[in-house]
Amino acid sequence: MGLTEKQLRQIYQDLHQIPELALEEYQTKAYLTKVIRSFDQSFLEIYEPEVLPTALLVLVKGFDPERTIGYRADIDALPVEEKTGLAYASLHPGVMHACGHDVHMTVALGLLAHFAEKRPKDNMLFFFQPAEESKNGGKLAYEAGIFQGKWRPDEFYGLHDAPELPAGAIGCNLGTLFAGTTEVDITLTGKGGHAAYPQKANDMVVCASELIVAAQTIVARNVDPTQGGVLTFGELKAGTIRNVIAGEAQIKGTIRGMTQEMITLLQRRLKILAEGIAQSFEAKLDLRLEQGGYLPVENDEKLTRFLIEYAKKTPTLEFIETTPKMTGEDFGYLLSKIPGTMFWLGVNAKASLHSAHLAPDQAALAKGVIAISGFLEARMQAKEV
């Protein structure tokens, strides 16, 4: 029924070869559309929103619908040069599906094929979303008004591949699955000068150093030790030569928290601290905090409990209770607007997410389709959760 395991593996390998960056996924969308149009179209309706050209939505019309169940798969890739050595490695130099969105798309196509052949009770909306890795495609789609009328799901589901879990295993937890993130960009401007005459300059290397060290107290002294928060600076640029005092410094980093309240706290404390240090050095401060659509992925309690209970009582399904991760995912924005759940699909890979060596175990594809289709069918039979 639906796509065979051989067909799923071929689709995965095809998609793996054509990775594209955020909002540039035209070849990927064309491939997805071709595959979807090969399915029985009796109950399907395709929507290609002009306002977001690489997005693709497919409505499966249920035979006795009480709700519309949404399923999201992200389709973009990362600017990573692949080093797997696979026969079906990326054909696009410097771009790779290093986060496993090729897995996400393949499983979604498998689910869509299943429900195109076996008409579901409820309506189903499949959302192939561009720009998850950057440019917050979920937020763009929502704010563009794509989810209106019959195209608005009552609840939303989506998966993320997990290299550390066994192939085909489902992982999840109540509460937050992924942290929310905020990009931090700081520019400090003072006055350059000769290294021998520091009194005639305003050294931004020292100012930046003071700010970076002081910022380490934000989590240590403002966050409840039983809760999670991260403030990391990963980039510092200042100066051009050893005997010239730098008149400008640029700092880039990230804030991460398990709740939006936590993220807001870290943002506020960093702003206060940066303004104070800049003032003490008589420096000009340009601080930019950009969260966009990368809110915490906070799973709906009732829907998630239903998923976990289903997974635990299904003998053919391996379920693993996971812990929250500090990585980010823009599905959090959609879950802030529409109740739903994100979960993990194990892919048993040796390399981590975003690695140039990531090579998921393709046995996860068919197992994932079977596990998730079973859950969705069980959800449709449940009046309330």
Q: Which residues are catalytic?
A: 74, 133
List % helix, strand, coil for the chain (3-state, nearest 5): 35, 25, 40
Sequence length of the chain is: 385
Assigned token pair, 371: 């596990």
Render the burial of 271-289: b for 16+ CB within 10 Å, e for the rest: eebbeebbeebebebebeb
Q: Provide the 8-state DSSP code for 202.
A: B
Residue 73 to residues 9, 128, 173, 189, 241: CA-CA distances in angstroms?
Answer: 17, 5, 20, 43, 48
CB 103 within 8 A of CB 345: yes
Distance CA 346, CA 168 (A): 5
Please report the DSSP string for 214-282 in residue order: HHHHHHHHHS-TTS-EEEEEEEEEE-SSTTEE-SEEEEEEEEEESSHHHHHHHHHHHHHHHHHHHHHTT
C-alpha Rg value of the chain to the nearest Å:
23
Assigned token pair, 243: 């005997």
Greatest C-alpha distance within the chain:
81
DSSP SS3 for 151: helix
Distance CA 163, CA 137 (A): 24
Nearest in space to 185 (alpha carbons), one of 89, 49, 289, 31: 289
Q: Provide the 8-state DSSP code for 126.
A: E
Q: Which position has the token pair 């067909």? A: 7
DSSP SS3 for 305: helix
Nearest in space to 75 (alpha carbons), one of 11, 13, 128, 142: 128
Q: Which position has the token pair 């639906």? A: 2
Assigned token pair, 154: 């009552």
